[in-house]
Homo-oligomer: A and B are copies of this chain.
Amino acid sequence: MIGRLNHVAIAVSDLEAATRTYRDTLGARVSAPLSLPDHGVVTVFVELPNTKIELLAPLGEESPIAKFLARNPDGGIHHLCYEVDDILAARDRLAGEGARVLGNGEPKIGAHGKPVLFLHPKDFCGTLVELEEA
């Protein structure tokens, strides 16, 4: 069912410092920062030949990554995003297997403008998993 690893999301408190780490220290190609107020984050994409790292910093009072950063002040890997062909079929298969989909089970439009769902970390090896319709 799952296809490509679309991205690895790393939450950081200081986006400029994280950008310098990936651009200058690790020598990767990075995008300009992009504010996504609807998602409560500012993001910088690190473009690798086969996938992306997304550096996420909080935007606004209600950022969904604020609690994670309070627990992990140095930053850390926040989630993995796998692509699926059909997000509703994926959701129904997962529900049939007893896995927990977060929220109300209806896909939302994610940061890339495509339908996404998040899955409960306790059902996926302690890892928050995002599914994105490719």
Contact = CB atoms under 8 A, between A and B. Distances in A.
Interface string A12-42: 1000001001001111100000000000000
A24 to B, nearest CB: 7
Interface size class of A (residues with CB under 8 A): 35 or more
A74 B25 contact: no
Nearest to A1: B27
Interface string A58-74: 00000000000000101
20 contacts: A2-B26, A2-B27, A2-B48, A4-B48, A4-B49, A4-B51, A5-B8, A5-B48, A5-B51, A8-B80, A10-B125, A48-B82, A50-B50, A50-B51, A55-B125, A74-B121, A74-B125, A76-B126, A77-B77, A77-B127
Interface of A: 1-5, 8, 10, 12, 18, 21, 24-28, 48-51, 53, 55, 72, 74-77, 80, 82, 93-94, 97, 99, 121-127
